[in-house]
Amino acid sequence: MKREERYQILLEHFRKEMPNVTTELEFGSEFQLLVAVILSAQCTDKRVNQVTPELFRHYPTAEAMAKAEAEDIFVFVKSVSYPNAKAAHLTEMARQLVERFDGKVPSTLDELTSLPGVGRKTANVMLSVAFGQAAMPVDTHVYRVSHRIGLVSASDNTPRKVEERLRKYIPQEELGLAHHWILLHGRYVCTARKPHCEKCKIAEACLERGKKVEGKKQKV
């Protein structure tokens, strides 16, 4: 099966099954989304959503968080992964938002990635979810699923290369949706430890599953 066919099957399926999908993170503003995305690095959205209500009750805005110390933020985020580093990033990020952007979250990739704790993936999430721009964030789920299904080549061995490959085949206006489609497929179906191929609705397009099926045929 050609790569174009894999994309066609995937996109057609999710267009029908998940026409209106967005992040599972809970937030009330662009600033709060940025905080949540930073906290979500190597951590589940479920855990982040358990932490942020109380955090946002005390620090709802960049101005409020900019006045806090990392130790203050740590109290609320200590149950997420790498809490010390993230608490430090959040306080410094908030201060820079106040000092450089009048407390508002910027809407360009370069400006976003200039903030502490904000890498390309986080910036792309903000561009897509907060600002409705054509962006393809590549997290661990998107990276893994893209390789398993065969959406990318083995040589696409960095998140940036995967992002660039996906952008070539997915219509620009659907990049944001496709990010969530692939991410959620990886979170609930094509999981890291054991993919649930028996309930996968796009198994016919999967390169990895095709290899397994072919291998069983050869053994018979």
Query: CA-to-CA distance for 133 and 194, rounded, in angstroms?
Result: 33
Query: What does the angle CA 176 – CA 143 – CA 51 come to, to the nearest 5 degrees?
Result: 70
Residue type, 59: Y
With beta carbons less than 8 A apart as the criterion, state whether 157 and 138 touch: no
Residue spans of alpha helices (H) in 18-114: 30-39, 45-58, 62-66, 70-77, 83-101, 109-113
Side-chain half-sphere of 13: how many Cα atoms within 13 Å? Answer: 15
- Which one, of 162, 144, 142, 160, lies nearest residue 152 by Cα? 162
**7: how many CB neighbours lie within 10 A of its CB?**
20
- Structure tokens, 116: 């502490």
Catalytic annotation, residues: 121, 139
